[in-house]
Amino acid sequence: MKRKTPLEGGARKKPAYQKPTATKLHSTPAAKSRYKPKLHSKPSALSQPSSSQVVVKAESRTLTIDDYVVSYTNSLARSTPSTGFQSAGTLVKNEVITIDDTDDDEKPTEISEGMRLDTTQDYISKLDIDRPLLIVAGAGSGKTTTLCARVIEMIRRGVLPASILVITFTNKAAGELKARIKKYMEASQMDSGGRMPFASTFHSWCYGLIMRNYRLVGLAQCPMIAAADSEHLAVLKVALQRIEDCRMLALCEGLLGLVAGEPVPVCEEGEEGAMPVFVDFADARWAAVAAATKERYDVTVDQIAAMQPSEAGERTVVSRKKFGAQAQAAADEMSVTRSLFQFLAAKQKGRVAELEPINYAGKFGGKDAGSCIMSFIYRAKSRGDLPKDYPPFEAAVLKAYNATLERFNLIDFDDMLRLANDLLGVPEVLETVRAEFRYLLVDEFQDLNQLQMSLVLKMQQHSGRITAVGDERQSIYAFRGATCEHNFQTFLDWFVDATVERSVEGTMASLTQNYRSHQSIVDLGNIVARDTIGESALLGRLRVPLMALPSAPVVPVSVWHSDSHHEEAANITSKIKELIDSGDCKAADIAVISRCLNFGAYHPTGLIEAGLMTKGIPYVVRGGHSALKSKRMQLFLALIRVVANTDDDIATRICLGDAVKSLGPANLRKLEAVRADSGMKPISLFAKMEIAAQRAHVVTKPAAESLAGFVASIRGWQAQLGLSPLRRLVEVMFREFVAETDDDAKSAPIWGKAAASKGTDGLWTMVDAILEGFLDSPDALPPQDDGDSSFAWDRKADPRGPCTKMLLRAFSGQLCLLSTSAEGISVVRGPDEKVKDKDDVVVITTVHQAKGLEWKHVFIPHFIENLFPMKFRSENPADKAVIRERDAVREPSPKEQHYREEGRLAYVAITRAKLGLYISVLAQYPMPWMENFLGDLKPSRYLPAIMCPPGKPKHRSRGFEYGHDYNSDCEY
Ligand SMILES: Nc1ncnc2c1ncn2[C@@H]1O[C@H](COP(=O)(O)OP(=O)(O)OP(=O)(O)O)[C@@H](O)[C@H]1O
């Protein structure tokens, strides 16, 4: 029977620690001098539960972790971090190697002032740098520390810092890595001549690679990044319109008798034959329709497009009710095909079938068609799936979306990874990359998706010079296609690869000493990991409960039960004030970690923000909707893109869509229908605006004035290209844009209400900081010679000199990467915005943004079912397809997977705390509508029963506190 832990109310027992095995170990030539090996084989003794730090060493053959039995070999001799060291066990097949941790002759490396690596970290960091190393360990065990120590070791062994690439997921984490490596290098008094290893996010690195080499994958121009949700929706809108056009073209063919039988009105799932209606029509089919129309009715398509709707036939064939907001707007836009269809239908009254609307929302399982389709697309693309992997209907949508991106020379985050993968398929690029970065280190390895995994393999599979660090308990990006178990399995398989010239012997290591938190927090993390996350078949044996340092002060974990979210906010903010006033900690030592910052229109941390504001405590909000994600910022970003490239229809559409004054749907339709004088040749939306601004009666007079103002602004800014430096140009644009869009600018000729907002929200400070970073970072700059004189950028020239289109474009890419990456940019707020020390602020953050970070005190609000964990919603078609595929291996259901991921999120949130952890449970939903929407209220399933006994009164304003003295016991 499973023994209960103290947290679960089990009896307290002294831990039964084993004595250390006094045997020495060696693994690498470098380590040989320090560790003398002695192997012994003792399979029978190996099955004991392990709480040791473990190194599993694999030799050249295909293997799985099941080939190994993790042993319990060390003493867990407890000591303080500065003097402490631990023993490690290493297995070669079933042979155990242990090291003597009593030999004090050589102390492990001092990595920074007052901090020494423990023996295992030290040993692992020094393992052969030319062989694969995988470190799998729980939160706070020093994975990142060990990764950085390994970088230092590489440099110490003569590796050039510039040939080391350290890669992670978020800009914040990349910054943290850089800072740590710099600190450790300084502590080791390393003189690298100012050269630092290259620490980057996957996406920044990929975009840099694309900027330098896009021509090699057949692109004429360097693609721009479409990163914001609003942009994706704009692309989707065009894609859906494309689908409608194709369906209508099929009807037109039917009406003209070009195809036999009835036209195909709807593409049903599984109807293979229905697929052709979605193929790109800007080809022979279109030409055939145009020619047949001319022959039969003696009218050209241009003439039809120019006709007023009444002449073409007033039939509304697309029902708008069933479209979501975005899709409906797409349906509103009159396309030439629709004009043509309406014309033909009017001519043949009674002979045409209605075009049935496509029920996108129904097909993609949700109410809002736009967001349902986007969530399908995100999932499918992050997995690297192709349209052919899906049934015809989903395939058509995916295909149309990708085609639309391509048409506008845009890429999204997944395309970035895909293109980088394609580029690494080009031998000369691969060679250059391999020569440039001889060593690759990957943090948060569990979060790689298949495209990222493939990049990693391509870069280092030949050499095995890779170090990966991960924790399957912290895998929280499945929604973006992360394939945690697959990643670890691939790494294991990688120990031997038939394609490599020499066999690659790799090592898999684990750490079990938690240095971050005290035992109550570590215990709670262990329980959540064990009970809710599910056993990993692959890594189960390596998974051992973490242990806290016995020297860490023990503070109980607090669980508060509040009547309402008002009471919760009051409790949390009072405690924060108390902590700061006591002088024990600074504001920066405190975080409020919320599952999300927006739940529909509700902001779970809104009242806490208000409370902090009232109490005069400055804070920063990370994740969710930061100011850089604001509509105003996205508009400004779109403006930069239009200045850099007037053919960028998506950016133009973003400016037009909601923001430009006096442009209602009717004007937009007319604008869309504008044709160039030269006939059928498609022209950009911007060119249409120029025409509409000049020609009379295309759009209404006020709309024409707004368009003229918009076109003049863009042309005016473009005139400064080649004259003003980038900084000056962007600043001028920003000032003019802000002046135009400020609430007070009542007479603004261009921008309507949607673009307006109060104040600048400190936006310029952020744009400015990004500008500086961009100009200081040569890797973000565009290629030396683009080959196209208008975009040519000589890297030897001063990037602060006259700005080119290419430079402006690259900057907008950088702004995109930062403003729309998951983390966004934080905004410091406080009483009257008077925040003295921007670093000494309380952090309010999402769990995703809290990953990899730590605070002395952590508050987790709204720890109730359906909010944390989030309620499971309907299945995504992308999941359905994968589940079908994987039925044979009995994958957990999407629902099960969802709650496991939520459990991992809870694990991440809990394990960020060093000293104080305060979990808040509500007695009622914050908003009345949630009751209907979410069902009965219960405490979060991740709260162990002992912390929330059913018999307790429902409303306890301060709740009870539970904790235990680690020194007296802990075992499970
Ligand atoms: N040997 C050591 N001695 C003292 N402190 C240590 C040691 N190793 C790590 N730490 C500290 O423990 C904390 C956690 O370390 P680190 O961030 O490297 O862990 P991690 O395993 O990457 O954590 P997570 O996965 O939760 O982000 C840090 O504050 C770090 O400075």
CA distance 205 to 816: 14
Is any ligand 1 atom within 6 A of the Cβ of residue 852?
Answer: yes
Do the bridges between strand 557-562 and strand 960-962 make them parallel or antiparallel, or are there none, so unpaired?
A: antiparallel
Alpha carbon of 852 to ligand 1 centroid (Å):
9
> Atom 25 of ligand 1 has which residue's CA nearest to it?
139
Among 122, 474, 515, say which to mutate for ligand 1: greatest number of ligand atoms within 8 Å of CB: 515
Q: Is 439 helix (H, G, I), strand (E, B) or coil?
A: strand
> Atom 15 of ligand 1 has which residue's CA nearest to it?
142
Pick the atom of ligand 1 nearest to 471's CA.
25
Give the number of residues written for the chain.
Answer: 972
Which residue numbers belong to the known binding site for ATP?
137-144
Q: What is residue 923's predicted lDDT score, i.e. its pLDDT?
A: 84
Q: What is residue 107's predicted lDDT score, i.e. its pLDDT?
A: 63
Beta bridge partners of 470: 136
Alpha carbon of 476 to ligand 1 centroid (Å):
20
> Are the CB atoms for 851 and 908 separated by under 8 Å?
yes
Question: Containing H/E element for 854?
Answer: none
Is any ligand 1 atom within 6 A of the Cβ of residue 142?
Answer: yes
Which residue numbers belong to the known binding site?
137-144
Alpha carbon of 136 to ligand 1 centroid (Å):
14
> Are the CB atoms for 98 and 55 separated by under 8 Å?
no
Alpha carbon of 26 to ligand 1 centroid (Å):
25
Place of tokens 């004054």: 661
> Atom 4 of ligand 1 has which residue's CA nearest to it?
81
Q: What is residue 420's predicted lDDT score, i.e. its pLDDT?
A: 94
- Note the helical H segments in 127-280: 143-156, 171-187, 202-213, 229-255
Is any ligand 1 atom within 6 A of the Cβ of residue 242?
Answer: no
Model confidence, pTM? 0.69
Beta bridge partners of 846: 594
Q: Is 6 helix (H, G, I), strand (E, B) or coil?
A: helix
Alpha carbon of 544 to ligand 1 centroid (Å):
17
Q: Write the CB contacts of 855 (distance below 8 Å, at least 6 apart in sequence).
A: 589, 590, 591, 843, 912, 913, 914
φ, ψ at 76 (rounded to 5°):
50, 40
φ, ψ at 281 (rounded to 5°):
-100, -5
Is any ligand 1 atom within 6 A of the Cβ of residue 118?
Answer: yes
> Atom 28 of ligand 1 has which residue's CA nearest to it?
516
CA distance 213 to 560: 55
DSSP 18: P
Pick the atom of ligand 1 nearest to 118's CA.
1
In the chain, the amino acid numbered 567 is E
DSSP codes, 643-669: HH-TT-HHHHHHIIIIIBTT--HHHHH
Is any ligand 1 atom within 6 A of the Cβ of residue 912?
Answer: no
Among 148, 151, 516, 521, say which to mutate for ligand 1: greatest number of ligand atoms within 8 Å of CB: 516
> Are the CB atoms for 119 and 101 separated by under 8 Å?
yes
Alpha-carbon distance values, 370 to 112, 238, 363, 601 (Å):
51, 12, 12, 17
Name the token pair of 854: 């730590």
Alpha carbon of 74 to ligand 1 centroid (Å):
20
Is any ligand 1 atom within 6 A of the Cβ of residue 117?
Answer: yes
Q: How many CA within 13 A on the CB side of residue 219? A: 22
Alpha carbon of 549 to ligand 1 centroid (Å):
12
pLDDT lower than 50: segments of the chain: 1-102, 104, 261-282, 310-334, 496-503, 745, 747, 754, 756, 758-761, 784-795, 821-826, 832-835, 882-889, 953-972
In the chain, the amino acid numbered 457 is L
Name the token pair of 475: 């895998």
> Are the CB atoms for 339 and 846 separated by under 8 Å?
no
Beta bridge partners of 592: 844, 859
In the chain, the amino acid numbered 425 is G
> Atom 14 of ligand 1 has which residue's CA nearest to it?
140
Is any ligand 1 atom within 6 A of the Cβ of residue 141?
Answer: yes
CA distance 670 to 256: 26
Alpha carbon of 140 to ligand 1 centroid (Å):
5
Alpha carbon of 618 to ligand 1 centroid (Å):
27
Is any ligand 1 atom within 6 A of the Cβ of residue 143?
Answer: yes
Alpha-carbon distance values, 207 to 58, 113, 813 (Å):
35, 37, 9
Pick the atom of ligand 1 nearest to 851's CA.
27
> Are the CB atoms for 890 and 530 separated by under 8 Å?
no
Longest alpha-carbon distance in the chain = 98
Is any ligand 1 atom within 6 A of the Cβ of residue 115?
Answer: yes
DSSP codes, 52-112: S-EEEEE-SS---GGG-------------TTT-----EEEETTEEEE--TT--SSPPPEEE
CA distance 512 to 548: 9
Q: What is residue 149's predicted lDDT score, i.e. its pLDDT?
A: 93
Distance of CA 705 to the CA centre of its chain: 41
Q: Write the CB contacts of 425 (distance below 8 Å, at least 6 apart in sequence).
A: 458
CA distance 235 to 232: 5
Place of tokens 């108390």: 578
> Atom 11 of ligand 1 has which residue's CA nearest to it?
515
The dihedral region occupied by 508, where left means phi > 0, alpha psi between -120 and 50, and beta the remainder, is: beta
Alpha carbon of 148 to ligand 1 centroid (Å):
11
Q: Is 345 helix (H, G, I), strand (E, B) or coil?
A: helix
Q: What is residue 43's predicted lDDT score, i.e. its pLDDT?
A: 28
Name the token pair of 848: 């995703």
Burial of 749 (0-12, 13-18, 19+ CB in 10 A): middle
Long-range contacts of 872-875 (CB under 8 A, 24+ apart): 872/898, 872/899, 873/366, 874/365, 874/366, 875/365
Choose among 107, 195, 181: nearest CA to 144. Answer: 181
Alpha carbon of 903 to ligand 1 centroid (Å):
22
CA distance 301 to 307: 10
Beta bridge partners of 449: 482
Is any ligand 1 atom within 6 A of the Cβ of residue 139?
Answer: yes
> Atom 13 of ligand 1 has which residue's CA nearest to it?
516
Name the token pair of 508: 């898999």
Among 145, 183, 443, 853, say which to mutate for ligand 1: greatest number of ligand atoms within 8 Å of CB: 145
Sheet with strand 54-58: strands edge to edge: 39-41, 95-98, 89-92, 54-58, 506-510, 133-136, 466-470, 439-442, 164-168, 198-201
Question: Containing H/E element for 896?
Answer: helix 894-910
> Atom 6 of ligand 1 has which residue's CA nearest to it?
515
Pick the atom of ligand 1 nearest to 145's CA.
18
Beta bridge partners of 505: none
Beta bridge partners of 441: 166, 467
Choose among 647, 645, 667: nearest CA to 656. Answer: 667
Q: What is residue 127's predicted lDDT score, i.e. its pLDDT?
A: 85
Is any ligand 1 atom within 6 A of the Cβ of residue 911?
Answer: yes
Alpha carbon of 115 to ligand 1 centroid (Å):
11
The gap between the terminal CA atoms of the chain, to the nearest Å, is 11
> Are the CB atoms for 921 and 959 separated by under 8 Å?
yes
Is any ligand 1 atom within 6 A of the Cβ of residue 648?
Answer: no
Alpha carbon of 138 to ligand 1 centroid (Å):
10
Alpha carbon of 570 to ligand 1 centroid (Å):
32
